[in-house]
Amino acid sequence: MFFWSIVLILIGIYSSYILGKSRIKKLVYSTNLKPKSQYNYHAQYVLSWCLLPALIVYFSWAIFEEQIIQNLILDSFEYVEGAAYNDGLLLAEIRNVANNTDFSEGKSQEIINAASQYKSLKLTSEISFYISIIIIMVLGSLYAVRKINIQFNAQDTIEKYIKYILIFCSSIAVLTTIGIIFSLIFESFRFFSQVSIFEFLFSTEWYPFIPIREGQAGAEGSFGAVPIFAGTFLVMIVAMCVAAPIGLLTAIYLSEYASQKVRKTVKPLLEILAGIPTIVYGFFAFVTVAPFVKSFGQSIGIDASPTSALAAGLVMGVMIIPFISSLSDDVINSVPQSLREGSLGIGANKAETIKKVILPAALPGIVGAFLLAISRAIGETMIVVVAAGTAANLTANPFENVTTVTVQIVVALIGDQEFDNPRTLSAFALGLVLFVITLSLNVLALRIVKKYRERYE
Amino acid sequence: MNSIVAQERIIALRKKRSAQDLRFKYYGFIAMCLALAVLVFLLYSIFSRGFSAFQKTTILLEINYDQEVLKLTPDSTDQEIEKGKFFKVKKNALNNVFENLSKSDAKLIKKLFSTNIDKEIKNYYIDNPSVLNTTQKLWVTAHSNVDQMLKGNSRRDVPEDRRKLNDIQLSFIDQLVEEDRIQKEFNNFFFTRADSRHPEIAGIAGSFMGSLLTLFVVFILSFPIAIGASVYLEEFAPKNKLTELIEVNISNLAAVPSIVFGLLGLGVLLNVFGFPRSTPLVGGTVLALMTLPTIIIACRASLKAVPPSIKEGALAIGATKSQAVFHHVVPLALPGTLTGTIIGLAQALGETAPLIMIGMVAFIPNIPTGITEPSASLPVQIFLWVESAERGFQEKSAAAIMIILLFLFMMNALAVYLRNRFEKKW
Amino acid sequence: MVENNNTKISAKDVDVFYSEKQALNKISMDIKEKEVTALIGPSGCGKSTFLRCINRMNDLIEICKVTGSIKVDNEEIISSSTDVVSLRSKIGMVFQKPNPFPKSIFDNVAYGPSIHGLADTKSDLENIVITSLKKAGLYNEVKDRLNEPGTSLSGGQQQRLCIARAIAVNPEIILMDEPCSALDPIATAIIEELIDELRLNYTIIIVTHSMQQAARVSQKTCFFHLGELIESGETNKIFTNPDNTKTQDYITGRFG
């Protein structure tokens, strides 16, 4: 389908272009007037009317075709009484049979029927796809050709179309935000229709285990997210205890003490640290730091969990060191030179200048940097998924196992997803909390940093 | 206080103050060294674990390709060969690894070999049909437990019940080592195979291809859209509330945790639009949306760097706005734009969490060939291997990390090169 | 000197505002065909602003608002229905700092004709490029290296390349915004000679800081001060016997 539609589109591009050009040439020839726009623009005009609607149809077809076919198949599927069905598995099986990629024998008749129905639907869909694309291309071109005349300002129209396309491009970012908010709120709403919002926000019991069958005895999940928030907070605190001093001192050293040469080598090295994928940090936490923390705990007489908050937090701290150091570096560098000179001029030494003049002056900016780092730490996923625990545990002891918001999102979604089950939906409620918190931290931080910048500009 | 007294006091304090000064400087220095030391330690702990994965252990096996046992003739068709009784040949060979093996020992011996060796024996025959009715010495893949033991990744000085290999099996291995019938060779499986339940034959080819396809989708989507959006915001957009909203939105979107994009992919792309699950198509789309802000910000910076006089020159000879922009400004901003895009792609390459959300964590034992086929991606593969209980997967994950770091390094080097080579200073 | 009375551009009551600030106040003047008109005045007096009204380059500045009327060949150009693109193809412009495109010399000149569809074949295009370069007095210097980047030329050559680029779209008017201010005296002299030659075929309006330059190249001179047109007339008269004392003060170097 892909190859032939490309061919089709190329033919469309070529023929509509030629059509537009010959049409305006003929008009010029017969009326002997000078056209308002050049031939090329008329041709481009016809081309865009041929192409753009066809592309819209192409993409919506590509997106919705499979979905529609699946629904049709499921609607007409002859369910056998008493057998358990899973829509996803069923569809996969039907598709495999239809594509001759399922070699196991003894397929039931209803599957074979559905597979042949699937095949015929696919074929119908493909044929109608090509027909509709061709019709749309032809209609679009004809419409555009009819609009062409000597007075028609094709150039302006093309210019307008380009602008619309560009506006569409920039609206993608807005659509993404709307999509995020929509999906989070919509699914969270479904979650809160099954679990009370008070339980979620204030209860301290998190057992997201839901009865597999209706009426299964004794298995009632409870969704109190307090231990999760507490765990997230604990890991974040550990991370900040590592990253804040090291990152800030590194930034001070680099911007105030280090020679040009040191700066030029260290900064890219720190950037390497920043560019390492988080799963790599997760690996590091899991195979190197966690065993170390455990044996360290044993040596001081504490029984550390193999998935302790400390191990995850330490590594997360390492991850955000470059983040804090580069942001603080910017902030410190934007403190005006005159303040430094003023302090050094009355005989203060460098340390005193930094501690008494530069840091206070840069404080809002540094606070902003820390807030951004906190937001980053809270939203970080892979380190905690690999190195922190999955069981919710309300504790302030960093040697114990804790879980975080992001871990719970992953845990809820990594297996079977059932969108009528609060366990799956809880991911979206947690995601909503995460989104709101990180967003407000960011807005706050950016506002602080911006105010700070304005002060020195 | 007169000036002499003041001078005295200052001098008295000077030593203490300069000591403080020096101390503060050292704090900074130590902090910096600590950060760098962690980097070195991290790389060391990965490389030291990962290198061994580039080798695999193989054992020499004498295989008798007996016509009778195989139930094949020299003129057998491919289909007949496919159904040949190679497992019987294998069984005979395993029974004869050492002389006079008891039944229980033979069972233990069998566990020293990979389950893949049936295929290796068969493939050798397919490549060399002339070996029918001869006895061949073949190096076949050892089981991961043997491999790990010989590489020193699992220890033999722990009690027997906590080992994967018992004492008898260890003695067999020692004997094989003594007789030079066991060796390490380059692990071609690691680069040519997809994921497997068996560590010794698991490879990154599948997930690597998945990553490549995903990045392809990311590039196709994000590059033109980022250019369009930045051109609009830099050159066309009127200064109004709506434009401001878009700009604020982009900068905030850049700070949204990646996992939230995963939820977007799941909630909207999969559930509403019905994108095919677990595929590079949906993974790439999610990652494209995620990296878009990064690329747009870089794009806008490089568009801004093109001097307005170039655009004015074009406009003054009657170019339309879009001609001036697309003929002159955009080509000049292209190196910067590409640099930003490569950095965005590098970010996308290392991203794991959103891909887990949209189901790219499934166990996929074959190499994907299209963007609508289920596939894994390198970082997700690493995640799966890290989480796996099998010892043999740990070195695999470290080695996969080495590969991904290599690629990130190359991409960043390319970005730096492009920036230095093509970016004009005005 | 051949006198002619064909008015090419006629401005009436032109006001220009940057947001609230008024940059030009009720400018009215007529500019004759195939003459060089110099706009002089101290910096910030609005002469460049006025020049940029004529080809609507002020549109690029969002806060800039122009009212009044400017007619080119009796056609109103200060109106939303004006086709800016074809207006600019009729009015070439040369900027203060030479701004060749970072492309080859050939492509620099060929760009205008190709977007306006002036050449049907490749050899037509080559002809246009060569003629324009010749008219700009640059051809002999660059004929062997038409494929080298325009930015590799010297400043004076770059400016002549920009003139060739403007000429290539067959304009009737050429606006020059301090074309020599970034050039050395020798390059300036060459450009000034070129302007004198171009006068035979084009209506030229030149903004200049240098009164000597205005005296050397122009037939008419307009003196701007603080956004107002103080005096305009024959260059000879302005420089020898101005009516207004401000003009007198400026040209004798008392301010500016």
Chain B closest CA to A243's CA: distance in Å?
9
Taking an 8 Å cut-off on Cβ atoms, the answer to whether A380 and B34 are in contact is no
Query: For C241-255, what is each residue's pLDDT tens digit?
Result: 888 888 888 888 776
- Confidence grade of residue A211 (pLDDT, cut at 50, 70, 90): low
* Whether pLDDT at B211 is above 90: yes
**Partner C contacted by A39 (CB < 8 A):** yes
Q: How many angstroms separate the most distant Cα atoms in chain B?
A: 115
* Whether pLDDT at A217 is above 50: no
Nearest-Cα residue of chain B relative to residue A349: B21
Taking an 8 Å cut-off on Cβ atoms, the answer to whether B318 and C89 are in contact is yes
Domain boundary among A152, A185, A212: A152
Is C136 among the domain residues?
Answer: no
Q: From CA C216, how far away is CA C220, in angstroms rounded?
A: 11
Residues of chain A in contact with residue B361, where contact means CB-CB under 8 angstroms, are 414
**What backbone torsions phi and psi does residue A397 show, to the nearest 5 degrees?**
-90, 115
* Whether pLDDT at A219 is above 60: no
**Per-residue pLDDT at A106:** 64
Same-domain pairing of A272 and A350: yes
**Per-residue pLDDT at A32:** 81
Query: For A261-308, what is each residue's pLDDT tens digit?
Result: 998 899 888 988 888 999 999 999 999 999 999 899 888 888 888 888
Is A172 among the domain residues?
Answer: no
Same-domain pairing of A126 and A228: no
Tokens of residue A14, six digits: 């070529």
Is A173 among the domain residues?
Answer: no
Residue of C55, C82, C85, C132 for testing the chain B interface, max B β-carbons within 10 Å: C85
Nearest-Cα residue of chain A relative to residue B356: A414
Nearest to B349 by CA among B298, B290, B264, B418: B290
Is A203 among the domain residues?
Answer: no
Is A165 among the domain residues?
Answer: no
Give partners of B (≥3 CB pairs < 8 A).
A, C
Query: For A343-364, what is each residue's pLDDT tens digit?
Result: 888 888 888 899 888 999 889 9
Q: How many CB pairs under 8 A join A and B?
A: 267
Residue of B386, B397, B405 for testing the chain A interface, max A β-carbons within 10 Å: B386
Is A246 among the domain residues?
Answer: yes
Is A212 among the domain residues?
Answer: no
CB A154 within 8 A of CB A136: no
**Per-residue pLDDT at A218:** 46
**Per-residue pLDDT at A1:** 61
Is A384 among the domain residues?
Answer: yes
Q: From CA A69, how far away is CA A62, in angstroms rounded?
A: 12
Tokens of residue C196, six digits: 């004198």
Q: Which of A165, A184, A438 sits opposite B228 (nearest CB)?
A: A165
Give the burial class of B398: count Cβ atoms within 10 A of its Cβ; 0-12 exposed, 13-18 middle, 19 or more buried.
buried
Taking an 8 Å cut-off on Cβ atoms, the answer to whether A279 and B379 are in contact is yes
Is A208 among the domain residues?
Answer: no
Q: What is the mean pLDDT of residues B11-24?
A: 86
Q: From CA B318, how far away is CA B303, in angstroms rounded?
A: 21
Taking an 8 Å cut-off on Cβ atoms, the answer to whether B383 and A276 are in contact is no
The DSSP H or E segment spanning C39 is strand C36-40
* Whether pLDDT at C1 is above 50: no
For chain A, what is the mean pLDDT? 86
Neighbours of A52 (CB within 10 A): 15
**Per-residue pLDDT at C2:** 47
**Partner A contacted by C116 (CB < 8 A):** yes
Domain boundary among A90, A121, A152: A152
In order of A185, A358, B102, B338, B355, the CA distances from B263 in angstroms are 11, 42, 57, 28, 10
* Whether pLDDT at A138 is above 60: yes
Nearest-Cα residue of chain A relative to residue C84: A156
Let me know the angle formed at the C-alpha of B285 by B284 and B291, rounded to the nearest 5 degrees.
85
Taking an 8 Å cut-off on Cβ atoms, the answer to whether B319 and C85 are in contact is yes
- Confidence grade of residue A452 (pLDDT, cut at 50, 70, 90): confident
Q: From CA B373, how far away is CA B218, in angstroms rounded?
A: 16
**Per-residue pLDDT at A101:** 63
CA A288 from centre of chain: 29
* Whether pLDDT at B302 is above 50: yes
Chain C closest CA to A38's CA: distance in Å?
7
Nearest-Cα residue of chain C relative to residue B313: C99
Query: For B247-256, what is each residue's pLDDT tens digit?
Result: 989 988 988 9
Chain B closest CA to A217's CA: distance in Å?
31
- Confidence grade of residue B408 (pLDDT, cut at 50, 70, 90): very high
Taking an 8 Å cut-off on Cβ atoms, the answer to whether C85 and A155 are in contact is yes
**Domain limits at A34?**
2-152
Is C89 among the domain residues?
Answer: yes
Is C56 among the domain residues?
Answer: yes
* Whether pLDDT at B193 is above 80: yes
CB contact residues (below 8 A), chain B span 275-294, against chain C: none
| pTM for the whole structure | 0.88
Residue B59 β-bridge partners: B140, B182
Query: For B116-135, what is each residue's pLDDT tens digit?
Result: 888 888 888 888 888 888 88
**Per-residue pLDDT at C111:** 92
Query: For A399-430, what is each residue's pLDDT tens digit?
Result: 888 899 999 999 888 877 777 778 888 999 99
For chain B, what is the mean pLDDT? 88
Is C134 among the domain residues?
Answer: no
- Confidence grade of residue B374 (pLDDT, cut at 50, 70, 90): confident
Query: For B258-279, what is each residue's pLDDT tens digit?
Result: 999 999 999 888 888 777 888 8
CB A387 within 8 A of CB A287: no
**How many domains does chain C contain in total?**
1
DSSP assignment letter at B53: G
The DSSP H or E segment spanning A206 is strand A206-207
Same-domain pairing of A131 and A243: no
Q: Which of A162, A322, A435 sits opposite B260 (nearest CB)?
A: A435
Q: Across the beta sheet with B135-141, what order do the strands follow?
A: B135-141, B55-64, B182-186
Domain boundary among A152, A171, A204: A152
Query: For C115-148, what is each residue's pLDDT tens digit?
Result: 888 888 899 999 999 999 998 889 999 989 999 9
Chain A closest CA to C178's CA: distance in Å?
32
Q: From CA B281, how far away is CA B426, in angstroms rounded?
A: 40
Same-domain pairing of A239 and A128: no
Give the residue, A90 or C215, on which the prediction is more confident.
Answer: C215
Same-domain pairing of A308 and A433: yes
Residue of C59, C82, C84, C85 for testing the chain A interface, max A β-carbons within 10 Å: C85
Q: What is the CATH number of the domain that holds C205?
A: 3.40.50.300
DSSP assignment letter at C209: S
Q: What is the mean pLDDT of residues B101-105?
A: 83
Least confident of A77-91, B151-165, B200-214, C174-188: A77-91
Chain C closest CA to A7's CA: distance in Å?
29
**Partner A contacted by C85 (CB < 8 A):** yes
Residues of chain A in contact with residue C83, where contact means CB-CB under 8 angstroms, are 153
**Per-residue pLDDT at A252:** 93
**How many domains does chain A contain in total?**
2
**Domain limits at C31?**
7-99+176-251
Is C115 among the domain residues?
Answer: no
* Whether pLDDT at A165 is above 60: yes
The DSSP H or E segment spanning A322 is helix A309-333
Q: What is the CATH number of the domain that holds A413?
A: 1.10.3720.10
Neighbouring residues of C3: CB distance < 8 A, sequence distance ≥ 6: none
Give the burial class of A81: count Cβ atoms within 10 A of its Cβ; 0-12 exposed, 13-18 middle, 19 or more buried.
exposed
